[in-house]
Structure 1
């Protein structure tokens, strides 16, 4: 009869003692949060794009073989685009989406050459050709987004042509008349406005995202958002950079696109230095 109350009393005493001990004991140390290094952007100045071009030219001179290889590819794409523009101009933008499938991989080879020079390593054409295979997932996703934008751009161009040319799609002569004939400035304004919107989107997403994927092996979403942050936080500098790119490409296309033999590699290497200048290097990993 008296054993059970004693057991309950003892149990109650032990429970009370454990509760008091838990209350008086210091709180257990929390697990440290997972370290996620924030991507820091560097402030840019209006003189930086010219510095990027100068450094890109140094890379071209340091690796002329790689520059000639990639420049020939860029020139070949320009010749194909020019031929399509002369024969079926309404499909020019659609074909440009195909160039976006190849262009980023060619550019990544140039980025790899610049990166090797930064590290004090000799240029390696073979390594630059296959440097993208370790980043296939991120590159594939980013290129898919760019291709979708380019296809939408091409479709919007067809709609503009259809609305402003009631007799059907224009020939190359019709396109030239639309550009230089004051009566067709409405068409030119709409076409440039639509193209400008898509060009701004493509430029904002890709200006530093592809070299960032090569350098940090980051995912496409992070790279794309970082690229857009660079444009938003340094709008004036990025507008100047986009204008310089357009100017260099326009001048290089003057003689059947032959200037792309130099302009393509030059802009590729310069884009790597633009990424280096805009995105701060990650902090060293703790030992």
Structure 2
């Protein structure tokens, strides 16, 4: 009598494998220095094309402030100046692509870079823009709320009067203290969410949630170094805005190229 034995075969998992989240590396001060050197080298290799993105960003800033003054929206000038550097990652998208191609020794022209930028509207970078705009909306809303509560008894009819009230009265100092604290918190959140997320979304096929989580992971793994990098960006951008925004023609491209190289060091390559 023969017994028919049945062998259990492992059931194949028909569900598609989920890609593992990107692995983040610890970032050191040497990584920041090396990325800055590489970013400056990228700028020097294509100064006209890099400078174009800086010029576009600077002109946008000039027009933005001019429109606010023309519309007598004086109260929003200061938060707009503070928040303006926070949208730099979007202006630097073309710079990320330039650095990526330079790193691979690929030739490229204007049409190549602009086409890649235009194609981002079909990918996840649009959702990152939504996140950024939402945080900026919260920033402007809280600024106006604090303005109404703290400076309700103050009056100013022009920009000089507004600045004098803010910087030379006790109420203005209170307003600056509260507004700076809230603004610093929102800026830290936005910086942590986008510092490597923007170049990562341009470089890889992934969702914006994963990109933001990875970006937060980079900041969490090297908080002191990344805080230093945030300070470098903030000080450089704000000083570049002093001479009628024209300093951004040079500093934005260098910082944009640098961000690409820092992303390459902070996030491990895709595992095959």
TM range (shorter): 0.7 to 0.9
Q: Which has the higher contact order (CA 8 A, sep 6+)?
A: 2
User: Distance between the aligned counterparts of 1:221 and 1:270, measured in 2?
Assistant: 23
Contact 1:113 1:124 in 2 (8 A): no
Contact 2:86 2:187 in 1 (8 A): no
Q: Does 2:82 align with 1:82?
A: no
Structure 2 gap ranges (5+): none
CA RMSD of aligned residues (A): 2.8
User: Distance between the aligned counterparts of 1:52 and 1:88, measured in 2?
Assistant: 39
The residue number in structure 1 matching 2:10 is 29
User: Distance between the aligned counterparts of 1:55 and 1:99, measured in 2?
Assistant: 25
Distance 1:94 1:151, change over 3 A: farther
The residue number in structure 2 matching 1:246 is 234
Q: Kindly name which structure, 1 or 2, has the bigger radius of gyration based on alpha carbons.
A: 1
The residue number in structure 2 matching 1:10 is none
Contact 1:56 1:268 in 2 (8 A): yes
User: Distance between the aligned counterparts of 2:80 and 2:223, measured in 1?
Assistant: 29
Q: Does 2:76 align with 1:91?
A: yes
User: Distance between the aligned counterparts of 1:100 and 1:176, measured in 2?
Assistant: 21
Q: Does 2:42 align with 1:55?
A: no
Q: Does 2:163 align with 1:176?
A: yes
User: Distance between the aligned counterparts of 1:169 and 1:194, measured in 2?
Assistant: 24
Contact 2:94 2:114 in 1 (8 A): yes
How many residues align? The count is: 265
Deviations 1:170-206 (A, max 9, x none): 5422443355326232221101011111111111111
User: Distance between the aligned counterparts of 2:265 and 2:12, measured in 1?
Assistant: 36
SS at 1:47 equivalent: helix
TM-score between both structures, scaled by the size of structure 2: 0.87
Q: CA deviation at 1:213?
A: 0.6
Distance 1:98 1:125, change over 3 A: farther
Match of 1:198 among 186, 192, 213: 186
Contact 1:105 1:132 in 2 (8 A): no
User: Distance between the aligned counterparts of 1:143 and 1:94, measured in 2?
Assistant: 18
The residue number in structure 2 matching 1:6 is none
Distance 1:96 1:224, change over 3 A: farther
User: Distance between the aligned counterparts of 1:169 and 1:276, measured in 2?
Assistant: 50
Distance 1:35 1:143, change over 3 A: closer
Structure 1 gap ranges (5+): 1-12
Contact 1:161 1:169 in 2 (8 A): no
User: Distance between the aligned counterparts of 1:270 and 1:43, measured in 2?
Assistant: 17
Contact 2:86 2:191 in 1 (8 A): no
Q: CA deviation at 1:41?
A: 0.8
Task: Decide which moves more: 161-170 or 216-225.
Answer: 161-170
Distance 1:35 1:224, change over 3 A: closer
User: Distance between the aligned counterparts of 2:209 and 2:54, measured in 1?
Assistant: 29
TM-score between both structures, scaled by the size of structure 1: 0.82
